[in-house]
Every structure is written in C-alpha cells, then in structure tokens.
C-alpha cells in the first residue's frame, strides 16, 4: 500500500512539473538586417584598422541566448550566404595572410528582442604582415536560450584604407 501511495504521489509530482506544449520552445530565433541602421549588409566594404559597428536585430518567441561572429576569407568563392543578392567577387586567389576573426557575445537574460551595438576593431596586420584584402564572409550564428539557432551569412570586402 505504501508503495502504491508513494508511486501515485511521485507520478503526480512528475506530471505537474511537465511542460505543456505551449511552454515548449520549438521555434528558432530570427536575425534581421531589414532596418536602415543595419550593419554590415550584403556586399558592404569594411577597412582593416577601422572599427566595424555591428547593428543586427535579434528576436525569439521565448528568450534569446547568445551570438557568434565569424569573419574569414572567401578567396576560393565558397558560400555561406543566406542572401539572395550576389556580390561581385574578385578573381580566385590563394590566401597568404587572411584575417580570421571568431568571437562569441552574450545577450542579457530574459530578452525576446535585442539590437546589437557591437564594435569590432578589424586589425590590419598580424606579426607585422598586412592581412590579405579581398572577399570575406561575415557569418553570424544566433542561439536562443533553448538551443535553437539561426544563421546569417553575408559577403563583404575587407580592404586596406588608402589613407
């Protein structure tokens, strides 16, 4: 009898703690560049040694988590683009000293909407050797608090400033 009562109480506790379908997050977050201040956008040009301001809109139906930015060369014309518009690419070339930038950023807890105002200083050289200029990818991965993710892949050019 004690086992039956204990089992019933345990079952009731587990059942009452179970999330309902309406509480389960089943939607991936959204990354938007559909606003005037969005930066960067497809086919933009940024300059080594300058500050690149990242302005993206993030949204989720429950709660946002974090985001990651990855900039790497596209000298071989591979694709991560999530955009319809294609950009004019320079001829294929071998990488000698390409920039590779990867960094993760947190989003304050409890937010469903967030606009980034992230500054990234794009270094101009590594160990005294200037980075290769040309076609690069700017890739953003956004993860919500539940673990769903969305990606934004942009083609940009990184050039050395003439000044």
- pLDDT per residue as tens digits for the range 28-76: 999 999 999 999 999 999 999 999 999 999 999 999 999 999 999 999 9
> What integer pLDDT is reported at residue 22 of this predicted model?
57
**Contact criterion met (CB below 8 Å) for 53 and 117:** yes
Q: Where are the domains of the chain?
A: 24-160
Closest CA to 52 of 150, 129, 130, 140: 140
In angstroms, rounded to a whole number, what is the distance separating the alpha carbons of residues 139 and 146? Answer: 21
For residue range 131-141, list pLDDT tens digits in order: 999 999 999 99
User: What's the fold here for domain 24-160?
Assistant: Immunoglobulin-like (2.60.40)
């Amino acid at each position: 009898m004690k086992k039956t009562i204990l089992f019933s109480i345990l079952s009731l506790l587990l059942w009452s703690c179970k999330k309902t379908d309406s509480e389960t997050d089943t939607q991936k977050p959204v990354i938007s560049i559909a606003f005037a201040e969005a930066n960067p956008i497809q086919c933009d040009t940024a300059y080594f040694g300058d500050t690149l301001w990242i302005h993206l809109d993030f949204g989720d139906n429950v709660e946002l988590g974090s985001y990651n930015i990855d900039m790497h060369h596209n000298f071989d014309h591979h694709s991560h683009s999530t955009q319809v518009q294609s950009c004019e690419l320079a001829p294929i070339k071998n990488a000698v000293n390409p920039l590779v930038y990867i960094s993760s950023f947190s989003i304050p807890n409890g937010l469903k909407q967030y606009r980034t105002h992230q500054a990234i200083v794009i270094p101009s050289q590594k160990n005294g050797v200037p980075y290769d200029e040309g076609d690069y990818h700017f890739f953003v991965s956004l993860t919500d608090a539940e673990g769903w993710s969305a990606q934004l892949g942009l083609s940009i050019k990184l050039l050395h400033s003439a000044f």
